Copies of this chain bind each other. A is one copy, B any other.
Amino acid sequence: MTFEISPTNRVRQLSEKARYDEESVHAILDAGLVAQVAFVQEGKPVVVPMIYGRDGNRLYLHGARKARVIRMLEAGPSVCLNVTLLDGIVYARSLFNSSMNYRSVTVHGTATLIEGDERVHALSVISEHLMPGRSEEVRPSHEKEILMTGVIQVEIESASAKISMGPPDDEDEDMDAPVWAGVMPLRLKAGALIRDPEVPEDMLPTPHMQSQTGRSF
């Protein structure tokens, strides 16, 4: 499936880097950890970084039930979300052609507060996205904790991905410049686990957690 190209989601600059197919959009959303969620409050823009999860063409966000961002989003405003993963700094032969490599998705949709079983499902989706498998290692959430958590659903109404990769794209006249050019790759990487000082020294992370140590984004 492909998202319909409209004035809302059409990528105008460097449009050859645009993708509108679900597979590309979903892959970037699944690779990211935090979405930047923008909405309008009293006519002014607000952008808030939020953890999220995806189920089909639905995104879930959460926060404290009484948090401003949840109170704003439960009113059902239009939202615009962006998830960007930085893949490198592109050192071209001129500053003008220098840039970044990245995978980025922009989503447009409408926020809705969800409750009941939907809320429980959404929290599970968010948890699996951030910490896959962890829900089987800790106690089940208390009813009170679920009630204290506000969960927002955003149905993806429109989306586009933009992917920039590869070496610099320099002017022909610059190609013989005696200067090194290329890419400094970037990657968000998980390092060695840091034990909570209150955890007994001889308690090892579960094999599942140990397997997560090599995660990168």
A19 within 8 A of B: no
Residues of B near A40 (CB, < 8 A) are 40, 43-45
User: Given A13-B67, A91-B134, A134-B95 in contact, is the A47-B199 Cβ separation under 8 Å?
Assistant: no
The yes or no answer to A203 lying at the interface (CB within 8 A) is: yes
Q: Determine the distance from Cα of A185 to Cα of B36 in the docked complex, in whole angstroms.
A: 21
How many residues of chain A get a CB closer than 8 Å to chain B's CBs?
A: 93
Do the beta carbons of B46 and A95 come within 8 Å of each other?
no
- Interface: A18 (CB within 8 A): no
Residues facing B in A157-208 (CB within 8 A) are 167-168, 174-175, 177-199, 203-206
Name the one of B77, B91, B177 contacting A209, with C-beta atoms under 8 angstroms: B91
Given contacts A95-B123, A127-B95, A168-B196, contact A189 B190 (CB under 8 A): no
A36 x B39 contact (CB < 8 A): no
